[in-house]
Amino acid sequence: MSRLHRNAGRGVGLMIFVALAACQGHGGAPAENPTRRALAAVDAARLTAADSEPGSWMSYGRTYSEQRYSPLARVNDKTVADLGLAWSHDFGTERGIEATSIVVDGVMYATSAWSIVHALDARTGKPLWRYDPGVAKAKAKHTCCDVVNRGVAVWEGQVFLGALDGRLIALDAATGAVNWEVATVDAALPYTITGAPRVIRGKVLIGNGGAEFGVRGFLSAYDAKTGKLVWRFYTVPGDPALGFENQAMAMAAKTWNGTWWELGGGGGTVWDAMAHDPELDLLYIGVGNGTPWNREIRSPGGGDNLFLSSIVALRPDTGEYVWHYQTTPGETWDYTATQHIILADLELDGKPRKVLMQAPKNGFFYVLDRTDGTLLSAENYIGVTWATHVDLKTGRPVEVPGARYEDKPFLVVPSYLGGHNWHPMSFNPDTGLVYIPVLDFGANYAQPENFRYRPGISNVGTHGILGSLPDSQAERNALRPLIKGRLVAWDPKTQKEAWRVEHKGSWNGGTLTTAGNLVFQGTADGSFVAYSADEGKPLWSFPAQTGIVAPPITYEIDGEQYVSLNVGWGGAFALVFGEFVQAKSLPNVSRVLTFKLGARGELPAVDWKPAVHFSPPQQTASAETLQKGFAEYSDVCMGCHGLNAVSGLLIPDLRGSGFLHDQAAWDSVVRDGALRDRGMAAFGDQVSPEESRAIRAYVIQQAWRAVDLQKNAEVAP
């Protein structure tokens, strides 16, 4: 049973922790007590000049340009073979790990699942303090894509955390004590925060997520000293009858139809990317998808629906709108433009240009003039089926007829997970290449049978086929090779691929590139790899024992260069695509791994088998009930428990659940929330007793399917 298997997993985690505690201090001489120095003493001067301080990693993308390029070169294509594990630190949390750590003044600030901050001695990994904001586990109900956090920001002695439940919290960098905290969202609404804050001139910028569920997106700026709200920029218009906050909203409202504000608020959350150009005095933000995804429902009759799927430039001091570029007008596929934004100076057609680059979910790589948002070029970085190209005159994609699935289903590539998701890319000014963690697969979209907006759960407004796999195992096996992932080196000047490395899995880590002619990336199947940046030659790898999705960083202390990475499997693909998850054969271990030249640390061996046993009760439900159960499961449960009830093993596989044997026990979990403190919220408000019975019947059906397949040895147990 899954419960037993999970407890077994926890035992292993504990053993690892004990074993590692015994080998702490790998880093040589004990570090000077970092609390004696001023910590996280980061200010505008220091952050703007981050390139002259390459030993630190002071903000999410290292510099305001978010290039994730490090000038450090002690570890390089000639020496990297000698890279070894210097220290590791177990987070002790069990869900997805996506964070970029900050390293400054000798201290690393890492975050793990459930928005927990870990301050560690960056040289030795010695824990200095740990801060748990105590997010109520039932809040997981409002997460589309795991209870992850992508990192903190630091400024003048404080560490800023956006907690999953929407709070922005300022911590004392030396002690982890709370200086102030504010609710950045209406706690009654399904907002979440997973993204890292940024700080510009004493203002802490924070967005939010929740557009699958139904919220109105915005970005806020808070005074770093006091926590006072300075400004807020909404990304989509509210109910016009209530008036608009500013001219930008009045302009945006002209591109919407219907009563979108009654369907949750339109969406457009700013859940990840931001970049800043201090010279131009602009802040760039990436805006997400609509609520629901399906424009036909969201804005009947069409419209571009600004500022969904757009890059918007704002004044960082006031939040005033300056310009926007919309990557996917009238988005209807969950094509967010929240993906990583990189600023660089490129020579194009013999002229130096200040550009902004993004590879959003929709499959095109965009190069914009960041002074005014003019589109300079756009080419697809994977094969796309929804548009033929981007017209440079109009700046708009030329759509393929039928791609909006108005009348019949359409196989859309990229899928709702994008050709590239939140996993940061990096830009190396020496090679001129951008290193993109690419996802390459499609999804079938269709109009829903009868959509109704349901508060508090996912409201994507597409047919249940999005949430399903074929019944036949042969067909599922045939899908497997179509679900691809790779590392792509992209030349933004020529808009062409320079080289690629195909991966076994599709949901791989973000990238780091360095002046040592290196690109680092972790993979779904648990390898941390260094490639040559110019040619993509694999030069070094380390078996991390667990799936990797987070991006690496590098820093230097006392002349020693370190490369560090947070490992641990998780995020949307890990939860939803259980059938195709490579990391299933690995345990999920959440930890920091830090490397340096000449180190020879080892991880303790793990003995782990992903055993799920199925012993479902008799099936007694009618075909009609099963159909209903399937639809309901896809709407409400699939996002966490996986397509067709096949779990990625981060969350229990319902087909092996003992609760299948008893409707009352099942309801105590599903409707009443008996496991709410473990991340399984109560769904009684959304799922009626009858619907709950139908879902259980559907899961029983899927469990019997697995039993039959195991008998016929078509799937590994």
Residues serving a catalytic function are 334
Is 145 near ligand HEC (CB under 6 A)?
no
Beta carbon nearer to ligand HEC, 45 or 664: 664
Minimum distance of ligand HEC from residue 126's CB (angstroms) = 31
Contacts of residues 219-224 at CB distance under 8 Å and 24 or more positions apart, as own/partner, are 219/270, 219/274, 219/285, 219/314, 219/319, 220/168, 220/184, 221/316, 221/319, 222/168, 222/182, 222/184, 224/155, 224/156, 224/158, 224/160, 224/170, 224/199
* Residue whose pair of structure tokens reads 């002209």 in the numeric block: 254
Minimum distance of ligand HEC from residue 2's CB (angstroms) = 5
Among 248, 259, 265, 254, which residue's Cα sits nearest to residue 305?
254
Which one of the spans 28-36, 217-225, 438-446, 633-641 is the region binding ligand HEC (CB under 6 A)? 633-641
The tokens describing 548, both together, are: 């990797």
Is 700 near ligand HEC (CB under 6 A)?
no
Minimum distance of ligand HEC from residue 336's CB (angstroms) = 19
Is 680 near ligand HEC (CB under 6 A)?
yes
Beta carbon nearer to ligand HEC, 99 or 654: 654
Minimum distance of ligand HEC from residue 651's CB (angstroms) = 4
What is the C-alpha separation between 53 and 55, in angstroms, rounded?
5
Is 659 near ligand HEC (CB under 6 A)?
yes
Is 639 near ligand HEC (CB under 6 A)?
yes
Position among 108, 249, 344, 637 found at the interface with ligand HEC (CB under 6 A):
637
The tokens describing 363, both together, are: 């499959």
Minimum distance of ligand HEC from residue 147's CB (angstroms) = 8
Whether the Cβ atoms of residue 571 and residue 148 lie closer than 8 Å to each other = yes
What is the C-alpha separation between 146 and 640, in angstroms, rounded?
8
Minimum distance of ligand HEC from residue 674's CB (angstroms) = 9
Is 485 near ligand HEC (CB under 6 A)?
no
Position among 249, 375, 434, 687 found at the interface with ligand HEC (CB under 6 A):
687
Position among 321, 416, 683, 698 found at the interface with ligand HEC (CB under 6 A):
683
Scored b (16 or more CB within 10 A) or e, 68-97 reads: bbbbbbbbbbebbeebbbbbbbbbbbbbbb
Beta carbon nearer to ligand HEC, 446 or 675: 675
Minimum distance of ligand HEC from residue 695's CB (angstroms) = 5
Is 658 near ligand HEC (CB under 6 A)?
yes
Beta carbon nearer to ligand HEC, 25 or 92: 92
Among 484, 559, 553, 546, which residue's Cα sits nearest to residue 518?
553
Which one of the spans 115-123, 373-381, 613-621, 634-642 is the region binding ligand HEC (CB under 6 A)? 634-642
Position among 42, 695, 700, 706 found at the interface with ligand HEC (CB under 6 A):
695
Is 445 near ligand HEC (CB under 6 A)?
no
Minimum distance of ligand HEC from residue 615's CB (angstroms) = 12
Beta carbon nearer to ligand HEC, 62 or 641: 641
The tokens describing 705, both together, are: 């399917």
Is 652 near ligand HEC (CB under 6 A)?
yes
Is 10 near ligand HEC (CB under 6 A)?
no
Binding-site residue total for ligand HEC (CB under 6 A)? 26
What is the C-alpha separation between 55 and 90, in angstroms, rounded?
24
The tokens describing 443, both together, are: 């999804």
Among 181, 176, 219, which residue's Cα sits nearest to residue 200?
219
Position among 224, 489, 669, 682 found at the interface with ligand HEC (CB under 6 A):
669
Beta carbon nearer to ligand HEC, 58 or 651: 651
Minimum distance of ligand HEC from residue 523's CB (angstroms) = 25
Which one of the spans 356-364, 489-497, 499-507, 663-671 is the region binding ligand HEC (CB under 6 A)? 663-671
Is 678 near ligand HEC (CB under 6 A)?
yes
Is 670 near ligand HEC (CB under 6 A)?
yes
Minimum distance of ligand HEC from residue 571's CB (angstroms) = 13
Contacts of residues 637-642 at CB distance under 8 Å and 24 or more positions apart, as own/partner, are 637/695, 638/467, 638/576, 639/144, 639/145, 639/212, 639/458, 639/572, 639/575, 639/576, 640/140, 640/575, 641/575, 642/575, 642/576, 642/577, 642/578, 642/579
Is 675 near ligand HEC (CB under 6 A)?
yes
Whether the Cβ atoms of residue 498 and residue 433 lie closer than 8 Å to each other = yes
Which one of the spans 55-63, 124-132, 160-168, 654-662 is the region binding ligand HEC (CB under 6 A)? 654-662
Whether the Cβ atoms of residue 505 and residue 483 lie closer than 8 Å to each other = no
What is the C-alpha separation between 286 and 288, in angstroms, rounded?
7
The tokens describing 248, both together, are: 């930008």
Instruction: Please report, as a single letter, which amino acid is at residue 400.
Output: V
Is 631 near ligand HEC (CB under 6 A)?
no
Say how far residue 95 (Cα) sits from the centre of its chain.
13
Beta carbon nearer to ligand HEC, 591 or 641: 641
Beta carbon nearer to ligand HEC, 553 or 645: 645
Position among 378, 589, 593, 640 found at the interface with ligand HEC (CB under 6 A):
640
The tokens describing 134, both together, are: 């105590």
* Residue whose pair of structure tokens reads 């894509």 in the numeric block: 145
Which one of the spans 125-133, 335-343, 396-404, 665-673 is the region binding ligand HEC (CB under 6 A)? 665-673
What is the C-alpha separation between 485 and 421, in angstroms, rounded?
11
Say how far residue 252 (Cα) sits from the centre of its chain.
27
For the chain, the distance separating the N- and C-terminal CA atoms, rounded to the nearest angstrom, is 12
Beta carbon nearer to ligand HEC, 291 or 332: 291
Tally Cβ neighbours within 10 Å of residue 388: 12
CB-based contacts of 99, cutoff 8 Å, min separation 6: 110, 111, 112, 148, 149, 150, 151, 196, 550, 566
Is 2 near ligand HEC (CB under 6 A)?
yes
Beta carbon nearer to ligand HEC, 165 or 277: 165
What is the C-alpha separation between 642 and 487, in angstroms, rounded?
25
Is 454 near ligand HEC (CB under 6 A)?
no
Beta carbon nearer to ligand HEC, 222 or 683: 683
Position among 141, 167, 198, 628 found at the interface with ligand HEC (CB under 6 A):
141
Minimum distance of ligand HEC from residue 140's CB (angstroms) = 4
Cα distances (Å, whole numbers) of residue 714 to 394, 597, 647, 692: 51, 45, 17, 30
Minimum distance of ligand HEC from residue 499's CB (angstroms) = 38
Position among 83, 108, 117, 140 found at the interface with ligand HEC (CB under 6 A):
140
Instruction: Please report, as a single letter, which amino acid is at residue 372.
Output: D
Beta carbon nearer to ligand HEC, 511 or 647: 647
What is the C-alpha separation between 572 and 143, in angstroms, rounded?
10
What is the C-alpha separation between 492 and 357, in angstroms, rounded?
8
Beta carbon nearer to ligand HEC, 141 or 295: 141
Whether the Cβ atoms of residue 262 and residue 291 lie closer than 8 Å to each other = no
Which one of the spans 138-146, 375-383, 445-453, 576-584 is the region binding ligand HEC (CB under 6 A)? 138-146
Is 679 near ligand HEC (CB under 6 A)?
yes
* Site residues (vs ligand HEC, CB under 6 A): 2-3, 140-141, 143, 636-637, 639-641, 651-652, 654, 657-659, 666, 669-670, 675, 678-680, 683, 687, 695
